[in-house]
Chain A
Amino acid sequence: MIDRHFRRRFSNWLFVAACTLATAFALAALILILWSLFSQGIGGLDAKVFTMSTPAPGSEGGLLNAIVGSLLMCAVAMILSVIIGVLAGTWLAEYGGNTPYGYAVRFLNDVLLSAPSILIGLFVYEILVRPLHGFSGYAGAVALALLATPIVTRTTEDILNLQPHSLREAGIALGAPQWLVVRKVIWRAAGAGLLTGGLLGFARISGETAPLLFTSLNNQFFNADMSQPMASLPAVIFQYALSAYDDWRRLAWAGALLIALAVLSINIIGRVIAREPRQK
């Protein structure tokens, strides 16, 4: 009896130790990565990074064109994906979500959500870059939009499903047509959640590299014209990180730090806005 008792306590102790170790491992990984990011990237961050464009090797420069390019493409992508995503999510939640087609849409939306981003890049190359004979910021934005829309759709549907039915019934009882109820009552009530969905989508696409490789290419100079190849932070980092030049590599780490900081702060802001534990 004592033997068995001891065995049970021992195996439990082992288990607790293993779980604690696992958590420590995960936290250690996070700390290590953030530590590398900060220690390597802070050295490269100075005023030049935000005021000058990417340099030739050995020249002075910064990341201005990459930052602006990323911001522009992500902004256009988010406009596209919020419009399509919120509408699609609304359709799933309010209109056709329980029909066979609705199930198909929901499932395929998840497929698109998890689709390898490089395949999306290939697709946009085939339909926008080759026929139009040019790499462009628009192609990059479309590829990013394709990646962000499923996230927005999913969170919109989830959030709208959480809204109590009484809200809708109240709206109809007051004599509003359906679309007005959805727009002014439901959307407004779910505002925080919709914003979180948008932020999540933005966080995801700001770090995406693969789809931009074949669509917006990259640009050595400052370019705000989206019909031309545009620089983007991930593409510049990809190019500079593997290069042989010390100044380029320093810029790559600085850029990586910028992206990581942006994504992390967006996540935190989204959390603050949501201000409630995530519900399934």
Chain B
Amino acid sequence: MFKKFTVAFGIAALAGTGAHAADLSGAGATFPAPVYAKWAEAYKATTGIGLNYQAIGSGGGIKQIKAKTVDFGASDKPLKPEELNTAGLYQFPTVIGGVVPVMNLPGIRPGQIHLTGPLLADIYMGTITKWNDPRIAAANRGVKLSALPITVVHRSDGSGTSFLFTSYLSAKSPAWAQKVGASDAVQWPTGIGGKGNDGVAAFVKQTMGAIGYVEYAYAKQNNATYALLQNKAGKFPAPTAANFAAAAAGANWAKAPDNYVLLLDQPGANAWPITGATFILLYKNQDNAARGQGVLKFFDWAYKTGDGAAAKLDYVPLPASVKALIRKQWAMQIKAGGKPIYAAK
């Protein structure tokens, strides 16, 4: 009886193998994970092809595509041209989003607290430890700040969101640039680490007096209390899709080598200071033409029909001109066996 049972199971397991075309696989940033998941779901409903995306952090995306364990990697941190060349990779952006500081302060409404770059750096360095510190009060006249200690929450995993955030802090605070630097994983001077955007959001939600940084979709999902940040023009814009788009408006993608564009601290009255695009990493030379084509077809479809879903989750779709540029790049740069696998339409 036991024998029959194991034989049956063995057959079932083997029968599952190769019964249908394998799903496409991708891994990387948690920043765009909600919208990729939504797109993949709709794509499967329309075409029957599954695209399995796992959010393991931007660092994970870079590592796994370099190890060729996935079909594409996703990272909020764009790789520099030298690194791309050494690895034989190509990167292109998909959507634009904003990184938002969120807090847990009872009695404070979203958008009530104003912060500046240097203030944020001081908080994350541990020099400002209480919410009613005079430096914070100076930027927030008229707001009653409690005496709660500040609990700093950062990422425990390698994250493009961290890269954007620390790059911004480095730009705004020389002390931060010297002491900590900008990268997807740094030696945080203080605070606790949450895993993924969701881990940070969860920790902030649970701890009174906590401050963290998350991608805007996560802030919205949690109804988190976000802070307004001072931008280059000196104004305090709110983190909304319109203001992320304002930050992205001035970027010149055509001129950027290998699409390396950072949208931090952009000029403009409404520009949100910590904005960034998120990128897909692909090999220029595809080992498996069919899989490479599958990936490009998916993103082509997403460019065409995915804007609505992205906008609903408060991401900013790329402008049409940038999409056209990217499509041209696909036709020229992604090849299998010397022949391009995508034909620009």
A148 to chain B, nearest CB (A): 14
B188 to chain A, nearest CB (A): 19
Q: Is A223 an interface residue (CB 8 A)?
A: yes
Residue interface bits B303-345, CB-to-A below 8 A is 1, else 0: 0000000000000000000000000000000000000000000
The A contact surface, by secondary structure, is loop
The answer to whether A220 touches B221, judged by C-beta atoms less than 8 angstroms apart, is no
Q: A56-B34, A134-B69, A228-B25 are in contact. Are A242 and B202 (CB under 8 A)?
A: yes
Interface size class of A (residues with CB under 8 A): 20 to 34
B312 to chain A, nearest CB (A): 9
23 A–B contacts from the bound complex (CB under 8 Å): A56-B37, A72-B16, A75-B9, A79-B6, A79-B9, A133-B69, A134-B69, A217-B27, A217-B54, A219-B23, A220-B41, A221-B52, A223-B52, A224-B16, A225-B17, A225-B18, A226-B17, A228-B23, A229-B52, A242-B202, A243-B202, A244-B197, A244-B202
Residue interface bits B196-233, CB-to-A below 8 A is 1, else 0: 11110110010000000000001001100000000000
Residues of A within 8 A of B16 (CB): 72, 224-226
The CA-CA distance from A79 to B9 in the complex, in Å, is 9
B215 to chain A, nearest CB (A): 10
Q: A56-B37, A242-B195 are in contact. Are A133 and B50 (CB under 8 A)?
A: no
The CA-CA distance from A195 to B6 in the complex, in Å, is 13
The answer to whether A221 touches B34, judged by C-beta atoms less than 8 angstroms apart, is no
Q: Is A259 an interface residue (CB 8 A)?
A: no
Q: Is A253 an interface residue (CB 8 A)?
A: no
Q: Is B13 an interface residue (CB 8 A)?
A: yes
The answer to whether B10 touches A220, judged by C-beta atoms less than 8 angstroms apart, is no
Q: Which residue of A lies closest to B214 (CB)?
A: A244
Residue interface bits B59-75, CB-to-A below 8 A is 1, else 0: 00000000111100000
Q: Is A59 an interface residue (CB 8 A)?
A: yes
Q: Which of B19, B38, B222 contacts A225 (CB 8 A)?
A: B19
Q: Which residue of B lies closest to A231 (CB)?
A: B52
The answer to whether A130 touches B69, judged by C-beta atoms less than 8 angstroms apart, is yes
Q: Is A129 an interface residue (CB 8 A)?
A: yes
The CA-CA distance from A76 to B12 in the complex, in Å, is 10
Residues of B within 8 A of A58 (CB): 38
The answer to whether A76 touches B13, judged by C-beta atoms less than 8 angstroms apart, is yes
Q: Is B251 an interface residue (CB 8 A)?
A: no
Residues of A within 8 A of B195 (CB): 242
Q: Is B147 an interface residue (CB 8 A)?
A: no
Residues of B within 8 A of A243 (CB): 196, 198, 202
With A56-B41, A135-B69, A227-B18 given, name 4 new contacts (CB 8 A): A227-B22, A228-B22, A239-B55, A243-B202
Q: Is B298 an interface residue (CB 8 A)?
A: no
